[in-house]
Amino acid sequence: MKTLLIVDVQNDFIPGGSLSVPDGEKIVPIINDLQDKFDLVIASQDWHPQDHVSFASNHDGKSTFEEIQLHGKPQTLWPDHCVQGTKGAEFHPDLITDKFETIFRKGTDKEIDSYSAFFDNGHLKSTGLTGYLKEKGTTELYLCGLAADICVYFSAYDAKKEGFKCYFIEDASKALDLEGFEKQKKELINMGIQIVTSDSI
């Protein structure tokens, strides 16, 4: 079965949002057109409590994008974003969600960040996505969304580690750090993840 995983196409990651990805809105029509090409369409949604540990506002004297150590790992401090129940956490209004069979929410534990749709950053807790995809019979997993260099990248990395044949849809994803993403693409390719464009699917 061919599955599409749409990662975090939410208002706070679109220009005008609190953690906007440049040109993030441009992927929405591409993702909408893609959905009919798949047997199964699912999405992930960043869903943070207001007191989430990754928010700079919850650390006195710290600034956004500053890096701290958290549970022995580096943690970027972000602007408040995708807070549960807020407009910023909602999917982009133009994103067609009718075909979404289910939505996997992540980042719900206030004590640890979760970039991947599969696990938190410490791999302490699973979202259940691996089991869901295997139960559904997913053989090929295509990933797209925001931001390409953070949540889509880590989701693709984990998906490959979990044994799925993975494809990263480049024109249906946008990165926060373009230069860093070029290096990450090489890592994904070296792992055996194919970089594709929407017109090749």
CB 170 within 8 A of CB 197: yes
- CB-count burial class (<10 Å; 0-12, 13-18, 19+) for 58: middle
State yes or no: is 106 an active-site residue. yes
CB 156 within 8 A of CB 190: no
In whole angstroms, give the CA distance from residue 28 to residue 30: 5
Q: Which residue out of 12, 80, 82, 106 is catalytically annotated?
A: 106
In whole angstroms, give the CA distance from residue 10 to residue 152: 13
Residue 78 neighbours by CB distance under 10 Å = 21
Q: Which residue out of 151, 158, 166, 185 is catalytically annotated?
A: 151
State yes or no: is 151 an active-site residue. yes
Q: Which residue out of 8, 12, 149, 158 is catalytically annotated?
A: 8
Residue positions annotated with a catalytic role? 8, 106, 151
